[in-house]
Amino acid sequence: MMVVILARTRMSVARICIGGMSVEGQSFRLMDAHCSYFNNRCPFNVGEIWQMELQPCNGLEAPHLEDTAVLRAERIGTQADLRGFVLGRAKPWTGGIESIFDGKILFTNNGSGYISQPGGLPSSSTGFWIPDKDLDFNNNRRASYSPRNDWRYLSYVGTSGPEHTIPQGTLVRVSLAKWWKPRDADETLELRCYAQLSGWFNN
C-alpha cells in the first residue's frame, strides 16, 4: 500500500507518533511491528511517500481505530502538494473550533479541548479542519482560537517549530491523545482524550 506521511508528533520519552494516509484515503496512526510508538530516529518524514506492508493492531479502543503496524516499508518518493492530496481524499471540518471531531469536543475551564465517553465519541481520533479564524501560538506551544475573545485552544505536538500564526482557511490536522486522567484526580473525573494540533498544510 502506498502511504503519504502527514504528521510527525512528539510523545513522551523520545517517542514519535506518525500519521499517514493511503492514496485511497485511509488514515493511519503508524506504529512499529509490535504496535508500539516509534523512537525519534524513525525514518518517516512529512511529505514522503512510502510503499508499506501494514497490519491493523489488536485491541483497538474507540476512537483510536487508526493504529496500524508497519511490517515493511520502502521510500518511493515525495508528495509536494499535501493540501491537495488530503482534500482530494478527506472531508475536513470547517468553521469554529467547536466543529472538530464531529462536534463532540468539549473544553475545560482553562480552554483545553477534549472528548469523553459522557460527551460522546467521534468517528475517528484524527481528522482535518479548516478554521474560520487565525490560530495564534504562545510560548507554551498552544494554538489559540481567536485569542482576543475566546479562551479555547489546541496544544501543538508537531516536531517542527510552530509559526506565530496559522491563518484562517489553512488546512490543519488534528488528533486525539490516548485516554488519560491525572493520577491524583478525583475518582469521579472521567477518562479523557485531549485534542491536539499535529500539523498544517499551506500549499
* Residue ranges per structural domain of the chain: 2-84, 90-201
- Ramachandran sector of residue 41 (left: φ over 0; alpha: ψ -120 to 50; beta: rest): alpha
- What pLDDT digit, counting tens, does each position of 111-152 carry? 999 999 999 999 999 999 999 999 988 777 788 887 667 889
Rounded Cα gap, residues 42 and 34, in angstroms: 14
Which DSSP state fits 43? Answer: -
The string of DSSP letters for 67-125 reads: EEEEEEEEEEEE-S-HHHHHHTT---EEESGGGTGGGT-EE-TT-BEEEETTT---S-S
- What pLDDT digit, counting tens, does each position of 83-112 carry? 999 999 999 999 999 999 999 999 999 899
Which one is the CATH code of 2-84: 1.20.144, 2.40.50, 3.40.50, 1.10.3470?
Answer: 2.40.50
